[in-house]
Amino acid sequence: MIHNGKNVTDLKIAYIGGGSKGWAWGLMSDLAVADDISGSVYLYDIDYDAAKANEIIGNTVKNSKGAVTDWKYVAVKTIDEALTGADFVVISIFPGTMDEMNSDVHCPEKYGIYQSVGDSTGPGGIVRSLRTIPMMQEIANAVKKNCPDAWVINYTNPMTVCVKTLYETFPEIKAFGCCHEVFGTQKLLTDVLKEYKGIEGVKRNEIKVNVIGVNHFTWLTSAKYKNIDLFPLYKEFCEKYGEEGYGVKADTNWMNDFWEYAEKVKMELFLRYGYIAAAGDRHLAEFCSNHWYLASRERVAHMKFGLTPVDFRRENYKKLGAKSARLVNGEEQFEITETGEEGVMQIRALLGLEDLVTNVNIPNRGQIPNLPIGAVVESNAVFSDNSVVPVFAGEIPTVIHPLIARICDEQQMIVKAGIERDLELAFIAFLNDPLVSLAPPEARALFDEMIQNTKKYLTMYNVK
């Protein structure tokens, strides 16, 4: 790269999973509107054709309305080509196929275990972890070999497990995990501000929060706008909307919307614990005891959030494929829409173009003193010239500590199980998962079945 103090040119970004639909396009959008950085994006994907399609699409972006910078996109056939000399690496892969995800999400239903997402925790998240860890090891080793000084930004789930595996494999890696779930809660808080203070037009990042926890099970221990403490307002808000939910549109059938939720889980958690759970309800529910929110389809309906079926994802994925084809053959023109993701802002901050304080997933050096050192945790960090330094987030409050600490221990075990290819240790984590409300023999049967279902991606384990 060439850095003149105010602008950076000739930046090289490697995109692992570069055939991605959706995420890759978002990055293209965000890069196109950043006026002080430019360069090339190397797209690597196990599906080369998909990467190639994105190369074509990416190289049209400069023609879109709003584009101010011309980035070059290059699909490559090996990960080494993508990484050599890279300044930044973006990881956004889909581990396995929809068939594996189908097993992850739906196989446990036979045992009465429902999962709203199934990619971060619970039976699905654990088995997905087992097949993702070896992939992350490979990527970490490739980074070590090709671009050890590059910053590595991970978007892949299960986030915590992925980031932890990167560090376990290459301890000097400069990696962090990036997730937008907290942003949604910041947005909700702007609604609160509007409702009780009549203040409009506040941007989500003007809401200053102290973030604590693990990815997708993050909590806020403070939330402020200027001199206004948002906790008492949010309490009023939860007391008002907690029962009926917030944000449910009157004219649509809520039950048909698999991504939607009415913030009921979040609000109930606040009313009980006094701290703000800060992720989508579909994620939050999966980290709690199975009996609380996911015990049955009725309970889920009552709590007004959706279980996302994998068929729906397949459908969605098919649509994205069609859109990709249209973008490639020029039937459709790429449209720039800012994602609200912070990836490009983080890149700019790391280049010293503008400081940024935001939430991030990195190993715990002590920023959360009552979680294990080395565990990957989510909290705020200061991004500036070539450094990400965690803010001291403080101890997790006693009332929510058992909820989070348990998950953190589970994640530590899963990563160890994955790296050591130890399915027995993985089962210990599985059995202890809050969603696995089963006696040990039934838990074992489910675990074995899920492993069998996905064994194509588990060849490095000793699967019988």
- Which one, 222 or 453, has the nearer CB to its own copies? 222
What CA–CA distance (Å, rounded) separates 451 from 214? 25
User: Any contact of residue 398 with its own copies (CB under 8 A)?
Assistant: yes
Asked if 39 contacts 348 with a C-beta cutoff of 8 angstroms, the reply is no
Contact between 1 and its own copies (CB under 8 A)?
Answer: yes
Dig out the tokens for 136 from the structure. 């992350």
Q: Is 180 a catalytic residue?
A: yes
> For its own copies, which residue of 402, 420, 459, 460 counts as binding (CB under 8 A)?
402
| Under rule CB under 8 A, residue 405 binds its own copies | yes
> Binding-site residue total for its own copies (CB under 8 A)?
63
Q: Which of 29, 346, 358, 412 binds its own copies (CB under 8 A)?
A: 412
Binding mask 233-272 for its own copies (x = CB under 8 A): -----------------------------------x---x
CB-neighbour burial class of residue 342 (10 A; exposed 0-12, middle 13-18, buried 19+): buried
By CB under 8 A, the residues from 274 to 313 that bind its own copies are 289, 291-292, 295, 299
Q: How far is the CB of 350 from its own copies (least distance, A)?
A: 9
CA dihedral over 179, 182, 183, 184, signed as positive or negative? positive
Query: Closer to its own copies at the Cβ: 287 or 457?
Result: 287
Binding residue for its own copies, selected from 370, 421, 445, 453, defined by CB under 8 A: 370
Based on CB atoms, which residue is closest to its own copies, 252 or 387? 387
The residue from 180, 216, 302, 401 that is catalytic is 180
Q: Quote the CA–CA distance of 45 and 336 in Å, as a whole number.
A: 23
- The least distance separating its own copies from the CB of residue 16, rounded to whole angstroms, comes to 23
Q: Which is nearer to its own copies, 48 or 196 (CB)?
A: 196
Q: Is 273 in the site for its own copies (CB under 8 A)?
A: yes
Q: Is 394 in the site for its own copies (CB under 8 A)?
A: yes
Site membership for its own copies, residue 210 (CB under 8 A)? yes
Contacts of 436 (CB under 8 A, 6+ apart): 113, 122, 123, 290, 430, 443, 446
CB of 428 to its own copies, least distance (A): 5
Q: Let me know: does 89 contact 13? Beta carbons within 8 Å.
A: yes
The answer to whether 210 touches 229, Cβ cutoff 8 Å, is no
Measured CA to CA, the distance from residue 159 to residue 98 in angstroms comes to 19
Cα 181 to Cα 275: distance, rounded to the nearest angstrom: 16
> 116 burial class (0-12, 13-18, 19+ CB within 10 angstroms)?
buried
- CB half-sphere exposure, 451, CA atoms < 13 A: 22
Residue 104 makes CB contacts below 8 A (sequence gap 6+) with: 115, 118, 119, 123, 124, 125, 127, 128, 450, 454
DSSP states of 396-407? PPTTTHHHHHHH
Q: Using N-to-C axis directions, what is the helix angle for 401-419 and 423-432, rounded to 10°?
A: 160
Which tokens is 185 given?
């809660």
Write out the two tokens for 76: 């490559």
Question: Considering only 61-69, 90-98, 182-190, 432-440, which stretch makes contact with its own copies by CB under 8 A?
Answer: 432-440
Pairing relation of β-strands 217-225 and 208-214?
A: antiparallel
The least distance separating its own copies from the CB of residue 113, rounded to whole angstroms, comes to 11
Binding piece for its own copies, criterion CB under 8 A, among 14-22, 75-83, 311-319, 361-369: 361-369
- Return the structure tokens found at 407: 């998950």
Query: Of 1-9, 44-52, 94-102, 132-140, which part binds its own copies (CB under 8 A)?
Result: 1-9
Q: Judged by CB under 8 A, which of 204, 224, 313, 323 binds its own copies? A: 224
Specify the residue, 311 or 355, whose C-beta has the smaller distance to its own copies. Answer: 355
Beta-carbon contacts of 59 under 8 Å, excluding residues fewer than 6 positions away, are 72, 73
- Asked if 13 is part of the footprint of its own copies (rule: CB under 8 A), the reply reads no
Among 56, 391, 419, 463, binds its own copies (CB under 8 A): 391
Among 72, 144, 187, 208, binds its own copies (CB under 8 A): 208
- Shortest distance, position 148 Cβ to its own copies, whole Å: 15
Which positions are catalytic?
180
Binding-site ranges for its own copies (CB under 8 A): 1, 3, 5, 199, 208, 210, 222, 224-227, 229, 268, 272-273, 289, 291-292, 295, 299, 351-353, 355, 357, 365-367, 369-370, 372, 380, 382, 384-387, 389-394, 398-399, 401-403, 405-406, 409-410, 412-413, 416, 425, 428, 431-432, 437-440
